[in-house]
Structure 1
Amino acid sequence: MDNKYSACTSFLAGNRATADGSTIIARNEDSKPSWPKHFKVQSHESIEDNHFKSNENNFEMNLSSIRAKYTSTPEWTDEFGLFEEDGINEYGVAMSATESAYTNPRVLSFDPLETDSGIGEEAMITVVLPYVKTARDAVIYLGKIIEQHGTSETNGILFSDKDEVWYMETAGGHQWVAQRIPDDSYAIVSNQLSIQEIDFNDSNSFLFKDDIKEFVENNHLNPDPKSFNFRNIFGLNDLSDEYYNTPRVWEGQRILNPEIEQSPVSHDMPFIRKASKLIQLEDIKQILGSHYEGTPFDPAGSGSDEEKHRFRPISLPATQESHILQIRPDLPIDLGGIHWLCMGVAAESIYVPFFAGISETPAAYHNGKQNYSSDSAYWTFKLSSVLVGAHYSNFIKQLNDMRTSTNVIINSRLHSLQVDILNSQDEERQYKLNQAAKEISDIAIDAFKEFNSKIISASTALSPLYFEHNSNL
């Protein structure tokens, strides 16, 4: 198998941009239509001679002997790398890695990617998240790794804690910058370098490789020396953006800022915006599950064939999992940190909330290989997409109705469990956190299994060979 290619869509929002004061980072992990993910908790451990060696290339490094507890979504196999992708650690730091992007050839001629020995997507969660205590520290920690070891890819990485949200981008083999998302704002990213103007005098909002300015000046890389626009200096900005990348940013901004008129192929959309209203979790789910509903560009809509296939949608069959990492500042991290996990296609699956304080995940999230198996959470949710996709107009309303009613049940139970666990004694708290994970995930899995059973039965009459016959003959 070729190395994993991840073509994702990411979302970030500060704590004054959201309705409940949470910080939010979120992303669709897009790679292959049939490549299961698992969901695990890596325990707090003291590991003597803690050393990481990648299965993807020759990247390796020594790590701290103390590894903090963290949640993660690794691949079903580690043959090609771990790809843990997203999680929340015991200190209240959330991380999502990565948003794949591209460095232009001009920059690469001066600082090539370290494809053989640099850090890549598959390793980033594993070597960073268990060893950092704030989002800002995480940016600096990963930046030092990139400077020392190089990176094998151009990537965007998302970090948050209860106070701050950061978006970090790498370029070339050793360059990086990071921008703090303002508390009252949001950002949407789609497979292109997105950070724009860097203010080197604003350490509250920007972090960067110490000599990146000199690197650009010495190699004459800046097309506009009066400014330092990271996207323009290091990125591509080619025609593929107009059908593959920028329309996804446009769609997210259309949902959160419907009052703003802009073209889906515009290269001038800002990286950061203020939403026209406070952002709810439902808004983020809508963005990550979007396929341009209500526009001529919806592949399942009523536009012309050309319009329906003009732009790459946000939600598509290649999504392995989608996650929303929420940190509420008014609760302790074991309850206020919530890892919302949606296995499979976001438009046709459901986000299941798991408290960050869990010490184990339900058994169904440990199961699932490349071929379908009924005991796997990934395959249970993916099966619904397959069944509905085969007869979309027949079953999509039933699927959406089921998702809506199940979401109401899950959200109601989540709030009740938060109150109960918050008031519980320490000795029973861990047990209740783990039981909450099982109870809520069972609600979702059981609902989808029942739906699948009904749709399989109903589909038996939808064969092109079907013929209305007389039962008496």
Structure 2
Amino acid sequence: MEHFRSSCTSILIGKAASADGSVIIGRNEDSRSSWPKTAVVHPAAHHDEAPMFKSKDTEVEFALPKDSLQYTATPEWTDKYGLFEEDGINSAGVAMSATESAYANARVQGFDPFVEHGIIEECMITVVLPYVKSAREGVRRLGQLIETHGTGEANGILFADHDEAWYMEVVSGHHWLAQRIPDDGYAVVANQLSIEAVDFDSPDFIVDAGLRTFAEENHLWRPGTPFSIRRIFGTDDPSDRIYNTPRVWDGHQLLSKQTAAAETPIDSDLPFIMRPDRPLQVEDAMRFLSRHYQDTPYDPAGRMPDAKLSHSFRPISVTATQESHVLQLRPNLPAAIANIHWLAMGVPSQSQYVPFFAGLTDTPANYKVGALPASLDSAYWQYKLTSVLVDAHPLRFDNLLGNTQDDVHAKLVALVAATDAKARTLTAADDLAQLATKATFSAAKTADEAWNKLRMKILEQSTALGKLTFKMDPNL
């Protein structure tokens, strides 16, 4: 089987670190620059007999629970290589994002190698999210599946509910653990095993029963020393300092500039858990996932002339981003409206985060389609076209792009506020589901109309910017 992994970037924010008490998780799904995504909602279901799941990728097969919850997801345009549903929120208010691909070192793989027919990224959302009612339950369900069937990859998985955010790391073929993000903290992750010292007696860690024994018996860890996942199971080499740690540094500079001032992009010991300089808005998560080292010499799309530095490090927002999501679990609102699946198709720095209220019963038509070859009935391709047009002349169109993003986002914030107010007057589940669906369709339409105008304006202005442009003789 051919496996496609997502080399992504993630963020998790605790409820006391956010301005409104939301628990927030988000991730860029980075794989290939031309590989469409869709957005769907799966209804709750009941089966008289336990349905069987079989992966088209690894061929792992097992029974699923008879009852499943409703959940949102962003599957790929084809299931040829598996489902890759990647992210979503279920009707119990649990959010999940899978996965943040990582690397386990060669010594660890020698003692517990990855398995060919196991649980991997492509099916994790599908076999976990519809069946759990808390973030902790999500960690334990996925952990049990990995212990039973093994995994073919080292990965990080994000879980959240209205009380907690958890980051789970799969560190070898059958071993895993998870750490709770402190309520007043946040974490950013970039393709590394990132959890630091584990406290086995703390309720803020969930660890598979054999992890400590496995590390001790294979002399990966010596009792009396810190049990650092990053050091025991992860990697620390020059490629990390080009590809991974600079993105973590960029996030710390954005959200904790005062306390992270002494950090550099090539530090090997950047903290996993951080405290922000200020209460964080959902826009801060979006801004982080849209970063490409703006206002630094390392920005490959910047206005600074030093070409040597501008491509030194891998940015957070890249052309290979298929979709970016921010999953916001808000307090003190009816569940259908409280949980928002903010979705940006394509490159987040050149796209728009659109609010999909998790209690919806359907998704807009252009989010349900998208394939190869490209077709402009698809939201994915609509936003990717805008990226291509902007990339051709970024200095000319960056301001126009940014103004459109800001104008649309302001309208979407107002729409969310109006939807919240309406939701507080409703009690019936059907009415709330109808409101969630209507508001989502309205949000998507607002973004679609503005971005179509943007594309046409860029197209119009680009016609005079081609290589064959020449000052014409006015007398001819």
TM-score, length of structure 2 as denominator length: 0.97
Does the 8 A contact of 2:337 with 2:358 survive in 1? yes
Matches within 5 A, 1:66-77: 66-77=67-78
Give secondary structure in 1 for the equivalent of 2:238.
coil
Q: Deviations over 1:3-47 (max 9, x none)?
A: 212100000011000000000110000001111100000110112
Give secondary structure in 1 for the equivalent of 2:168.
strand
Q: Equivalent residue for 2:121?
A: 121
Q: Equivalent residue for 1:64?
A: 65
Q: Equivalent residue for 2:155?
A: 155
Q: Deviations over 1:228-269 (max 9, x none)?
A: 111100011111110100000000000011112211100111
Displacement of 1:225: 4.9
1:200 to 1:425, Cα distance in 2 relative to 1, 3 A: closer
> Please, what is the CA RMSD of the aligned residues?
1.2
Q: Deviations over 1:296-354 (max 9, x none)?
A: 10112204111001000000100000000000121122111000001010111010011
Whole-angstrom distance in 2 between the partners of 1:197 and 1:109? 23
Whole-angstrom distance in 2 between the partners of 1:162 and 1:424? 21
Displacement of 1:442: 0.4
Does the 8 A contact of 2:336 with 2:433 survive in 1? no
Q: Equivalent residue for 2:213?
A: 214
Whole-angstrom distance in 2 between the partners of 1:472 and 1:436? 56
Find out whether 1:22 has 2:22 as its counterpart.
yes
Query: Which residue type is aligned with residue 451 of structure 1?
Result: L
What residue ranges of structure 1 are gaps of 5+ in the alignment?
none
Q: Equivalent residue for 2:300?
A: 299
**Structure 1 residue corresponding to 2:446, chosen from 443, 446, 451:** 443
Does the 8 A contact of 2:162 with 2:329 survive in 1? yes
Matches within 5 A, 1:280-299: 280-299=281-300
Number of aligned positions between the proteins: 471
Give secondary structure in 1 for the equivalent of 2:183.
coil
Q: Equivalent residue for 1:88?
A: 89
Give secondary structure in 2 for the equivalent of 1:71.
strand
Q: Equivalent residue for 2:197?
A: 197
Query: Which residue type is aligned with residue 4 of structure 2?
Result: K
Identity of aligned residues (%): 48
Whole-angstrom distance in 2 between the partners of 1:225 and 1:109? 24
Query: Which residue type is aligned with residue 418 of structure 1?
Result: D
Give secondary structure in 1 for the equivalent of 2:111.
coil
Whole-angstrom distance in 1 between the partners of 2:323 and 2:149? 29
Whole-angstrom distance in 1 between the partners of 2:329 and 2:7? 25
Displacement of 1:467: 1.3
Does the 8 A contact of 2:13 with 2:181 survive in 1? yes
Q: Deviations over 1:414-456 (max 9, x none)?
A: 1101211331352433222211111110001111111111111
Displacement of 1:472: 5.2
Q: Equivalent residue for 2:404?
A: 402
TM-score, length of structure 1 as denominator length: 0.98
Q: Equivalent residue for 1:12?
A: 12
Find out whether 1:393 has 2:392 as its counterpart.
no
What residue ranges of structure 2 are gaps of 5+ in the alignment?
none
Whole-angstrom distance in 1 between the partners of 2:7 and 2:324? 12
Query: Which residue type is aligned with residue 399 of structure 2?
Result: K
Q: Equivalent residue for 2:231?
A: 232
Does the 8 A contact of 1:381 with 1:445 survive in 2? no
Does the 8 A contact of 2:100 with 2:156 survive in 1? yes
Query: Which residue type is aligned with residue 50 of structure 1?
Result: P
Displacement of 1:413: 1.3
